Structures are given as structure tokens and as C-alpha cells.
């Protein structure tokens, strides 16, 4: 496993410490077990969808939690006792084991909804920038209105001399 030294970024980049921590965390983490499989797709300019294959899980056995910039999906399989009868499998291909999947979300990405259908858990995400961060048009002033305080002082002086 290769290690990376991100300390040079701290010397020249300000405010990127969270990004560097994420890079370090990704470099430290080993390969995931790959279960359950999932897709991440973009569905629009600022819209995303995560699909997770959760065959055998019901909606009440799944939990989705969004906290800060971390989306956590967990599945806890309930005890499966059908009328007290013991089930005997000849082949068991459906992995009905508990799981936890974590997804790091970018700033301002929020969960808009989730649905479970045909063994797929679909989570809809959208980036919602606050008004203060959205591009806005700045009006260009002309003439003396650019520096209002000084223009008013000159007018006030002229009015005081006339009185």
C-alpha cells in the first residue's frame, strides 16, 4: 500500500484542511468488501442519485442518516422466523447480512428523498447553494454616486454656505 504525504499542501493552501483530511482518509482505507453494490449517477446539473442493491431488505430494516457531509445507509436484517419453522436452504445466494455504506457529500448537497422498489434503494440528492453563494449581478454606478458619502458632503457644504 502506498502512502502519500499531504503536508506540503498545508504550507500553501488555506482552508483546504477538510479536503486534505478526506484525501488522507481515502488513502488509509483499504478496499471495501463491495457489498451491497451501488451506483452513483448524475441526473442533472446539480442533482444526483445513489442506487443500492438491497434485495431481501424491507423499508423498516433500512436506515438513512445524513449528518454534516456524511450520508450513512445501514441495513439491519430482522430475525427471520416464519411461524417458528426453521428454514433449510439448499443454496443461499441472497446475502441477508447487516451492512453499512458511507458516502461523503460535497458542501450543500442535501438528501431530497428515498424510495425502495424491486430490491433497489434509490436516494435522490441535490446541491442547493445558499443565496449568498449564488452568482449575482452587481450594478455599476456612474458619476458621483459611486462614492455617496463624499458627494453628499460636498452638497451639504454648498447648502451650508448658501444659508
Highest mean pLDDT among 13-27, 91-105, 107-121, 139-153: 107-121
- From the number of C-beta atoms within 10 Å of its C-beta (0-12, 13-18, 19+), residue 18 rates as exposed
Does residue 115 register a pLDDT over 60?
A: yes
Instruction: Give Cα separations from 154 to 74, 127, 158, 159, 162 (angstroms).
Output: 68, 48, 6, 9, 13
Section 108-119 average pLDDT: 94
Does residue 136 register a pLDDT over 70?
A: yes
* 3-state DSSP of 130-151: CHHHCCCCCCCCCHHHHHHHHH
Q: Which residue has the higher pLDDT, 162 or 71?
A: 71
> What is the maximum span of the chain, computed from C-alpha positions, in angstroms?
106
pLDDT, the chain, mean: 79
Which of 42-46, 120-124, 148-152 bottoms out in mean pLDDT, i.e. has the lowest?
148-152
- 0.85 exceeded by the pTM? no
Q: Show me where the domains of the chain are located.
A: 1-31, 33-80+92-132
> Residue 57, Cβ neighbours under 10 Å: how many?
22
DSSP H or E segment with residue 38? strand 38-44
Length of the chain: 163
- 3-class secondary-structure state, position 102: strand
Q: What is the pLDDT of residue 53?
A: 94
Section 124-141 average pLDDT: 87
Q: What is the pLDDT of residue 101?
A: 92
pLDDT (tens digit, 9 = 90+) per residue, 8-63?
A: 766 666 766 667 676 766 665 555 567 899 999 999 999 999 999 998 899 999 99
Does residue 71 register a pLDDT over 90?
A: yes
Section 131-143 average pLDDT: 84
DSSP H or E segment with residue 50? strand 47-53
Is 33-80+92-132 assigned to CATH 2.60.40.790? Answer: yes
Amino acid at each position: 500500500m502506498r502512502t502519500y504525504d499531504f503536508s506540503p499542501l498545508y504550507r500553501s493552501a488555506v482552508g483546504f484542511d477538510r479536503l486534505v483530511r478526506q484525501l488522507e482518509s481515502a488513502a488509509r482505507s483499504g478496499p471495501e468488501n463491495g457489498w451491497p453494490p451501488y451506483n452513483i449517477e448524475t441526473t442533472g446539473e446539480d442533482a444526483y442519485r445513489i442506487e443500492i442493491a438491497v434485495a431481501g431488505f424491507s423499508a423498516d430494516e433500512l436506515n438513512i442518516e445524513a449528518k454534516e457531509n456524511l450520508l450513512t445507509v445501514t441495513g439491519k436484517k430482522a430475525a427471520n422466523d416464519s411461524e417458528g419453522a426453521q428454514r433449510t436452504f439448499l443454496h443461499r445466494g441472497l446475502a441477508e447480512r447487516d451492512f453499512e455504506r458511507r458516502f461523503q457529500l460535497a458542501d450543500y448537497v442535501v438528501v431530497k428523498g428515498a424510495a425502495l422498489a424491486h430490491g433497489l434503494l434509490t436516494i435522490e440528492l441535490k446541491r442547493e447553494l445558499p443565496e449568498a453563494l449564488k452568482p449575482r449581478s452587481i450594478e455599476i454606478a456612474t458619476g458621483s454616486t459611486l462614492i455617496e458619502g463624499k458627494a453628499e458632503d460636498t452638497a451639504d457644504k454648498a447648502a451650508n454656505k448658501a444659508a
